Every structure is written in structure tokens, then in C-alpha cells.
Amino acid sequence: MINKLQLDDFELSYSTEGEGRDVLFLHGFPSNMYFWNDIKNQLKDKLRVTVVEQRGYPLSSIEDSIVSDFNIENLSLDIEKLINKLQLTNDLIIVGHDWGSIVAWAVASRGNVKIKKLVLICGGTEFPSTSVYDNLVFDKGEHYISSFQNPEQANELLSQNLDLFFRSAYRVTPKINYDLLDLSLKNLFTTHNDDNKIHNIDIKSLVNHFYSGLKQSISWYSNIDFNLELSNQWRRDLDIEVTFLFGKNDAAVKLNEKMIKRLKLSGTNVAVKEVNNADHWLPLTHKESVISEII
């Protein structure tokens, strides 16, 4: 059952099931609250499981939104208000995937709610500035994050064929040569063909879910420079338990020694783990790796 939390200018959709210790799941891009269904169903008899459809995604869309509505402070406030409303205070673990890990990190750093542990999957703590991505140009164009700085234009391109977009986004990534990887918008999100395998996810359901387009979810990326400024207010080393999980075949997040070192220095109790034969959609393919970090 989907519930609604009325916030200032929209309703935040969520579900909560089970009893016991609290675990809260935050999806990333381009996913929704149903992304966690299989893991949720395995845990709801043991724990109280809460799943959110975050701000700007179809079940929590904002009428007449502007790009700045999707900055990290607003995203964090949404989750903090939900935690307080539902009293998710029983040894709360927050599990975030992709952008969900960025939001989870911000919520923990802000210190307004009590969290026992973070499990952050295929994501980090913060995005670097857009200048980093602007220096990366590939055969099929600029880095997709640079393209996402214009959410209207990016949405217009991707919404022309949502089926192609989701099939491209959720294709299985084999072991790859990162030095040759094209991370442009067109290559990552508009080039699926019949030779590409798709992860076990309902593409038709995703197309129907996002029928109104992707502009608001893309707008999250349009705030990453603003987010760096906002995060100056609360950025700190965390003292709670944090586990980062990455797939060795992840095409979106390249885990290297420099990144591992930076992540380990982000807190006093941080573990960084790589999962073999997993790509960016690790929660779909290696559910046991996620569940073991929670249980």
C-alpha cells in the first residue's frame, strides 16, 4: 500500500511494512520505489521496511517545479521529515543506491535524525563539480552529467523513446575497459540493441511509470554545484558504521584506489567492498550482498 506524506509543495509517496528494526530504502536514477521490491519482500517478515519514491519522481512529482527544488537540502529534508513522522528510531539503517546514497550521506551528515548504519550502493558521498565532467568529451558527445545540466533538453531527447532509454540504462554491463568507455548521454541511454542483455526488471512498467517524462529526476543532477555549497554547512566525517558496495563491472562509477582512499577517510568506521560480476544494478543481481549488510 502506498502512503502519502504531505510536505510544503507536494506529497511524498512511501510504503512501510513489517515490524522490528528499521530499514529505509532510497532509490537512485532512473528507478522508483518498486526497485527494492524483491529485497523488501525478503526482509519485511524480519524488519520494518520503509521504501520511498523520492522528490521529483512520478509518484512524488512537484507541480510547477523549478530546477532548484531538487537540491540536496530539500532532498534531505524530505527524508528527515519522513523518519520523524514514522518514528523510524529502532536502530535505523538507510540503504541508498546511486543518487540514493548521496541523499543518505547528506541526511547522516546533517545529524538531525539518529541513524545506526548506512549501506551505500554504487554511489558515493557527493558529486564533484560540473567542471570535472565538462572536461570529459567522448565520441558521441559530452559526459551525460554535463548534458543533464540542461534538464529540458536532456528530457526531450530521452523521452522520445522511453523504452529505448530504460533498455539502455538497465542493460547488463560486462567487464569493460574503462579507458575506452563512452559516458556520453547518447551512448549510455540511447544505444540498446538486441545483442544487449537486460537486467531482470519490468521495462514496460518503468515506461508507464515515467510516462510524463524525466525532467524532474534529471534536475537532481542540475544542482550538483549548488549542492557542494549547501553541503559546506554540514559536511563532516561520520562516526557511524558505513558500508560502500560497488560492482566491479559498474559502467557508471569507476572505483579506483584514489576513490577507495577518499571514501575510507570520510568516516571513522567505513568499509569499501567490491562485488564480483556485478554492475551498476547490483541490488537487482546480488540481493544477498545487500541483505547481508542489513541483517
Looking at residue 256, its pLDDT comes to 87
Distance CA 137, CA 144 (A): 10
Looking at residue 108, its pLDDT comes to 98
pLDDT along the chain (295 residues), means of 10: 94 97 98 98 97 98 97 98 97 98 98 98 96 91 96 97 96 73 91 85 97 98 98 96 95 87 94 95 96 96
Looking at residue 131, its pLDDT comes to 95
Looking at residue 178, its pLDDT comes to 60
Q: Count of domains in the chain?
A: 1
CATH of the domain at 216: 3.40.50.1820
Looking at residue 180, its pLDDT comes to 62
Looking at residue 195, its pLDDT comes to 73
Among 74, 110, 97, 128, which Cα is nearest to 24's?
A: 97
Looking at residue 210, its pLDDT comes to 98
Looking at residue 281, its pLDDT comes to 96
| Domain boundaries, position 174 | 3-294
As to burial, measured by CB atoms within 10 angstroms (0-12 exposed, 13-18 middle, 19+ buried), residue 148 is: buried
Q: Cell triple for residue 200?
A: 531482470
Looking at residue 255, its pLDDT comes to 86
Looking at residue 179, its pLDDT comes to 60
As to burial, measured by CB atoms within 10 angstroms (0-12 exposed, 13-18 middle, 19+ buried), residue 83 is: buried
